Structure 1
Amino acid sequence: MYRTHNCGELSLKDIEKKVILSGWIQKIRNLGSLFFIDIRDYFGITQLIVSKKSVKENFSLEKEFLIKVEGKVVERLSKNYNIPTGEIEILVFHIDLLNSSLFPPFTIENKTDGNEEMRMIYRYLDIRRNPIKNNLIIRHNLVLETRNFLSKNGFLEIETPVLINDTPEGARSFVVPSRTHPNKFYALAQSPQLFKQLLMIGGIDKYFQIVKCFRDEDSRSDRQIEFTQIDCEMSFVEEHDVLVFFEYFIKHIFKKIKNIQLDSFPRISYSDAIKMYGTDSPDIRFSMSFVELNDLVKIKNISLLKEQEFVIGIKIKKCHDIHNNDKINCFLKTIENKNFFWIRYLHNQTLLSSNQNFLNEKILKIFVKYFKALPGDLLFFSYGKKIKTRKELGKIRLKIADFFNLKDPKIFKPLWITDLPLLKWEERSKKYKSVHHPFTSPKEEDIHLLEKCPKNIRSKSYDLIINGVEIGSGSIRIHNKNIQNLIFKHLGFSKREIESRFGFFIKAFEYGVPPHGGIAFGLDRLVNILEGNKNIKNFIAFPKNNYGKDLMINAPSLLEKEKLKELHFR
């Protein structure tokens, strides 16, 4: 028997019990005739008292050695109330070495000295640390809660193929050569998109899958080349039905996992999001929406600005560092855009500006009055070409929030972005590309724009944004064959390409396609934001680095010549 109890469960009620524990050595304190050892397993830590008399000669113990001990539970004199077992310790009668260990390359503590690269090379050691282990437990609980919730609401969990044909879904696909079909390739699925739509055609009413997806694109802190989606689809629904149900789902998850009651999710159109925040994934924990100033600068005849194509500004209310010149100047150095200026409204009602050349006292007062600013407020302005100006002020807005600590990690503000563009023009290929994917339904009232102005067509699509991060994305799908063919045509697909890539799918349209729609949530991102973390790698057992490499197993790697021959590579 390796253990009668685990290292996280014994307490005062177990005093005088004889127990067997097994685990790794966390700490050793040598007091001469006695050793105090902290032994650790998955469940927790227990302190041991080991007499040197009970240890064989030449018997060496070090950190991370795996031991089995037999002993008696006794009350601890110097109690540690920070751990569940902190009121007891084990008086050891017998100790066995189960396995020795090399000295670990970094400290296996909550706060480690290991950098990310080292921890990824030795990920199995990193998982022994409570922060990573607990992250994996939280992820498990989220998956379990998701599976139970969707199942109880009539969704059927169905697996779809991973090895498929290459289809255009917005990113590059990983390809897998076929040994039995020379010069032919599978693609690793970027998502189960076509298969879940086929399930709706097959009469499945509601589907879900917690599924691995693969995209050959650059990794970063919130993206991996292989990632996990909570993938869902529903028949006989409109956009409103999907948004209402999955708002309910997200609220349920936050309540169950974090005991947080979320407010109702506002819905903002894509065009309004760009207009108000300069981005399609705005963080609305802090207000600071854009105020357009073109009419004002023309009416007030403000030189320089009245000649600009676009002028906008934002207000930061009650800036705590309004009088801190060093901090303000330090922040200004982080802004690369030169077409901006600011106004500080000090508590003594003095007005300061970053540009005294054209901003006199009269002009400053015009802006202060227009923004209804109060002493302690800070105003930022940007000007220039319309698209660039909005984008640049959007970046400044986020820098302001970071620099002045306006992003409260304990506050969660979800919102839906709706009516995203159906198509976007790609200058390099000189053709339109789907913003979501080619199976997204256009809004009926915009279909007539296909021939005249495709870029202005809005889609029945929606993104879920939480604290400035895209957590989910979905749409109502096309269920009319003529519209689907029309979209393919505007994406530049020839009849031959449509047949070779989507022939099976178009054929299914001949057999009565129900109206349907769905959404996919990034599981890695969702658990990451639930825990207020900044790196999804911390919630993935064996992640890739930012270059798409697995440093532990050294993948990707070269193939031997014989293997390449099998796959018909010369």
Structure 2
Amino acid sequence: MRSHFCGVLSTANIDETVTICGWVDRRRDHGGVIFLDMRDRQGVVQVVFDPDTEEHFQRADRVRSEYVLKITGRVRARGEGTVNPAMATGEIEILGKELEILNSAATPPFQLDEHTAVGEEVRLRYRYMDLRRQEMQERLALRSKITSGVRQFLEAEGFLDIETPILTRATPEGARDYLVPSRTHPGQFFALPQSPQLFKQLLMVAGFDRYYQVAKCFRDEDLRADRQPEFTQIDIETSFLDEAAIMDIAERMVRELFSDVLGVELPAFPSMPYAEAMERFGSDKPDLRIDMELVSVDDLMQQVDFKVFRGPADDAEGRVAALKVPGGATISRKEIDDYTKYVSIFGAKGLAWVKVNDLAAGVEGLQSPILKFMPEDVVLQMMQRLGAVNGDIVFFGADKAGIVNESLGALRLKVAEAQGLVGEGWAPLWVVDFPMFEDDGNGGLTPLHHPFTAPSCSAEELAAQPATALSRAYDMVLNGYEIGGGSVRIHQRDMQEAVFRVLEISDEEASEKFGFLLQALQYGAPPHGGLAFGLDRLVMLMCGVSSIRDVIAFPKTQTAACLMTDAPGAVNAQQLRELNIRLRQSAAESGGQEQG
């Protein structure tokens, strides 16, 4: 129907007769001459209709925003003084000769220009309209380019694109599964995959050596700006490579993406042990653009009688840490109170602080309600250790180490954002040497990543000291976001069984849930490993937006609902009977009596 896209026309097309198709972005009537800005996914071009073409001029007079048109006309240069440098096609326009209305349009629920402020709920309810906006078109086009770049890179590296099942069985991946009832196996359920983890390992056992997949994954978990119940993963697995070689492939892929798509050359990727990241930044995904670190002051606080500090300082599992904010003495008391409420989300019982007004005056030049509880020499030693100068503020955390790390780590990000202390550019990082396990809160252990991650020690050493065992895992971090993570996998049955024993998974349970994997490990499983990138999160960062919902065509809300299709929704009684499911009604629905 068309000869050209709207946004690709230029001075090279002057005097050509072209046909375009698209939507009316704007309509203007200037003294008997009608201007239509026509839009398609490539951009916008101006079309002019004058009364000389009476029939088509009258049609142009009838059209309104978002009408779908087919227009034929001659490309010409814009008149002197009418060039629009803000438009890619701003040097030319089309003198319209023929206009066909392909479809009319109701009044849009919101204007589609970049100056319109509209709530996300409205945008998601009318997502098909929201996606017409230029910025959304550009983001999804960039996503397509990134995905294409990933495929080209991996296939050039010898990886095969292999699909794995969507209907599978539940596996321990750290979040709740989405379950699918089976009609043909009454009372039994499939699970939607949280990742293709076991299948890609089995592909290595099968000898495919290098696998990748742009895979849909599903997790029924509490949502945040960078989480969705269904998301897309760049999934990679390879045999006969150690962690250094796998990390090299992943790093080269990301470097090539940034270079080809954004024209950005990423800086070096330093490696940092997990323990160091937690000690210095309170996070296993530190944003290295922020030049602030947590500093331990436990030894100093062991010299004070103030129990709030002394207790955690003397506790082997406790920590007292300080966070110096350059120029933060201007932070108001109300802001400090807001920060105190914020850290309470992470379990902190309070937030102590010291403002540095005049360091030369000693303690008299400091401002804080806690100074009266601390010896002067300890306070001054602390200021010296922190490198504090006039105009700074110091925040303190004192509690169990995990609470201090999480609360001050989150505060570091929030204060840096508020105070304009986040540097420009890109700060990539590899975090390595993760613990194999973490406390499950009930006196047991749970995998920090997943139970198929290989430990750095022998099976005997793992059994003897599981709480201190390290894993062969690695995460790629960029500007404070984990964009990819993986590990070398367990490829020997005895080691896999040793990990299951640490997790108190009985032989019977292991056989029931993972018998197929344990059996496969007996048949010459090669050493293997891999990683997965969150495509949505990677695209979010490369687009410079703060929510992955802005880079997904049809995302869910933070309550895992689709406002456009009104999903999830009820199903009829016949469908439930076929699936052998009976719904349990709430007391309100059943008149005070629960039915099951």
Is the shorter-chain TM-score for this pair beyond 0.5, marking a shared fold?
Answer: yes
Structure 1 residues 380 and 494: alpha-carbon distance in aligned structure 2, compared to 1, 3 A threshold:
closer
Give, in angstroms, the shift of residue 450 of structure 1: 4.0
User: Residue 335 of structure 1: SS of its match in structure 2?
Assistant: helix
Structure 1 residues 118 and 416: alpha-carbon distance in aligned structure 2, compared to 1, 3 A threshold:
same
1:22–1:66 CA contact under 8 A, matched in 2: yes
Give, in angstroms, the shift of residue 29 of structure 1: 1.3
Residue in structure 1 matched with residue 427 of structure 2 by the alignment: 413
Residue in structure 2 matched with residue 117 of structure 1 by the alignment: 121
2:351–2:395 CA contact under 8 A, matched in 1: no
Residue in structure 1 matched with residue 321 of structure 2 by the alignment: 312
User: Residue 212 of structure 1: SS of its match in structure 2?
Assistant: strand
In the alignment, the residues of structure 2 paired with residue 261 and residue 193 of structure 1 have an alpha-carbon distance, to the nearest angstrom, of: 31
Q: Please state if 1:565 is matched with 2:577.
A: yes
In the alignment, the residues of structure 1 paired with residue 358 and residue 74 of structure 2 have an alpha-carbon distance, to the nearest angstrom, of: 68
Residue in structure 2 matched with residue 354 of structure 1 by the alignment: 368
Give, in angstroms, the shift of residue 377 of structure 1: 4.1
Q: Which moved more, 1:95-104 or 1:341-350?
A: 341-350
Within-5 A mapping of 1:439-518: 439-444=452-457, 447-518=459-530
Residue in structure 2 matched with residue 46 of structure 1 by the alignment: 45
In the alignment, the residues of structure 2 paired with residue 480 and residue 235 of structure 1 have an alpha-carbon distance, to the nearest angstrom, of: 14
Structure 1 residues 348 and 554: alpha-carbon distance in aligned structure 2, compared to 1, 3 A threshold:
same
Within-5 A mapping of 1:104-183: 104-183=108-187
Deviations 1:424-472 (CA, angstroms, capped at 9, x unpaired): 33235x6432221111111115x44544442222211111121111111
Deviations 1:546-566 (CA, angstroms, capped at 9, x unpaired): 111111111111111222222
Residue in structure 1 matched with residue 345 of structure 2 by the alignment: none
Within-5 A mapping of 1:358-369: 358=373, 365-369=380-384
1:346–1:377 CA contact under 8 A, matched in 2: no
In the alignment, the residues of structure 2 paired with residue 415 and residue 483 of structure 1 have an alpha-carbon distance, to the nearest angstrom, of: 30
Give, in angstroms, the shift of residue 218 of structure 1: 2.1
Deviations 1:64-97 (CA, angstroms, capped at 9, x unpaired): 0111222222322211011121112222222221
AA paired with 1:291? V
Corresponding residue to 1:373 among 382, 385, 388: 388
Residue in structure 1 matched with residue 410 of structure 2 by the alignment: 395
Structure 1 residues 278 and 46: alpha-carbon distance in aligned structure 2, compared to 1, 3 A threshold:
same
AA paired with 1:280? D
Give, in angstroms, the shift of residue 111 of structure 1: 3.3
AA paired with 1:84? A
Within-5 A mapping of 1:423-442: 423-427=437-441, 431-442=444-455
In the alignment, the residues of structure 2 paired with residue 247 and residue 43 of structure 1 have an alpha-carbon distance, to the nearest angstrom, of: 32
In the alignment, the residues of structure 2 paired with residue 232 and residue 349 of structure 1 have an alpha-carbon distance, to the nearest angstrom, of: 59
Give, in angstroms, the shift of residue 57 of structure 1: 7.7
User: Residue 19 of structure 1: SS of its match in structure 2?
Assistant: strand
Structure 1 residues 334 and 38: alpha-carbon distance in aligned structure 2, compared to 1, 3 A threshold:
same
1:308–1:385 CA contact under 8 A, matched in 2: no
Within-5 A mapping of 1:310-349: 310=313, 311-317=320-326, 319=327, 322=329, 324=330, 327-336=331-340, 338-345=350-357
Give, in angstroms, the shift of residue 164 of structure 1: 0.9
Deviations 1:90-122 (CA, angstroms, capped at 9, x unpaired): 222222211000101011112333211111111
Give, in angstroms, the shift of residue 342 of structure 1: 2.2
AA paired with 2:96? V
The number of residues matched between the two structures is: 560
Within-5 A mapping of 1:30-109: 30-52=29-51, 53-54=54-55, 55-56=57-58, 60-77=62-79, 78-109=82-113
Q: Which moved more, 1:245-254 or 1:159-168?
A: 245-254
User: Residue 309 of structure 1: SS of its match in structure 2?
Assistant: helix
Q: Give TM-score, length-normalised by structure 2.
A: 0.88
Give, in angstroms, the shift of residue 228 of structure 1: 0.6
Q: Which moved more, 1:381-390 or 1:109-118?
A: 381-390
Structure 1 residues 40 and 235: alpha-carbon distance in aligned structure 2, compared to 1, 3 A threshold:
same
User: Residue 576 of structure 2: SS of its match in structure 1?
Assistant: helix
AA paired with 2:18? V
1:341–1:382 CA contact under 8 A, matched in 2: no
Residue in structure 2 matched with residue 14 of structure 1 by the alignment: 13
Deviations 1:391-416 (CA, angstroms, capped at 9, x unpaired): 322222122211111223x4211212
User: Residue 369 of structure 1: SS of its match in structure 2?
Assistant: helix
Within-5 A mapping of 1:21-32: 21-32=20-31
Structure 1 residues 63 and 354: alpha-carbon distance in aligned structure 2, compared to 1, 3 A threshold:
same
Q: Please state if 1:276 is matched with 2:318.
A: no
In the alignment, the residues of structure 2 paired with residue 347 and residue 100 of structure 1 have an alpha-carbon distance, to the nearest angstrom, of: 71
Q: Which moved more, 1:104-113 or 1:331-340?
A: 331-340
Query: Where does the alignment leave 5 or more consecutive residues of structure 1 unmatched?
Result: none
Give, in angstroms, the shift of residue 479 of structure 1: 1.1
In the alignment, the residues of structure 2 paired with residue 362 and residue 506 of structure 1 have an alpha-carbon distance, to the nearest angstrom, of: 61
Q: Which moved more, 1:277-286 or 1:349-358?
A: 349-358
In the alignment, the residues of structure 2 paired with residue 19 and residue 368 of structure 1 have an alpha-carbon distance, to the nearest angstrom, of: 72
Structure 1 residues 361 and 328: alpha-carbon distance in aligned structure 2, compared to 1, 3 A threshold:
farther
2:355–2:391 CA contact under 8 A, matched in 1: no
Deviations 1:131-150 (CA, angstroms, capped at 9, x unpaired): 11111111111111111111
Q: Please state if 1:383 is matched with 2:398.
A: yes
In the alignment, the residues of structure 2 paired with residue 564 and residue 19 of structure 1 have an alpha-carbon distance, to the nearest angstrom, of: 56
1:423–1:455 CA contact under 8 A, matched in 2: yes
In the alignment, the residues of structure 2 paired with residue 349 and residue 528 of structure 1 have an alpha-carbon distance, to the nearest angstrom, of: 48
Deviations 1:215-252 (CA, angstroms, capped at 9, x unpaired): 11122210111101111111112222222332222222
Query: Where does the alignment leave 5 or more consecutive residues of structure 2 unmatched?
Result: 314-319, 341-348, 583-596
In the alignment, the residues of structure 2 paired with residue 487 and residue 295 of structure 1 have an alpha-carbon distance, to the nearest angstrom, of: 36
AA paired with 2:528? H
1:353–1:359 CA contact under 8 A, matched in 2: no
RMSD: 2.4
Give, in angstroms, the shift of residue 263 of structure 1: 2.3
In the alignment, the residues of structure 1 paired with residue 120 and residue 3 of structure 2 have an alpha-carbon distance, to the nearest angstrom, of: 36
In the alignment, the residues of structure 1 paired with residue 49 and residue 6 of structure 2 have an alpha-carbon distance, to the nearest angstrom, of: 16
In the alignment, the residues of structure 1 paired with residue 427 and residue 186 of structure 2 have an alpha-carbon distance, to the nearest angstrom, of: 52
Give, in angstroms, the shift of residue 174 of structure 1: 1.1
Residue in structure 1 matched with residue 557 of structure 2 by the alignment: 545
In the alignment, the residues of structure 2 paired with residue 481 and residue 385 of structure 1 have an alpha-carbon distance, to the nearest angstrom, of: 37
Structure 1 residues 167 and 376: alpha-carbon distance in aligned structure 2, compared to 1, 3 A threshold:
same
Deviations 1:185-219 (CA, angstroms, capped at 9, x unpaired): 21111111111111111112211111111111122
In the alignment, the residues of structure 2 paired with residue 546 and residue 478 of structure 1 have an alpha-carbon distance, to the nearest angstrom, of: 35
In the alignment, the residues of structure 2 paired with residue 366 and residue 271 of structure 1 have an alpha-carbon distance, to the nearest angstrom, of: 25
In the alignment, the residues of structure 1 paired with residue 529 and residue 169 of structure 2 have an alpha-carbon distance, to the nearest angstrom, of: 22
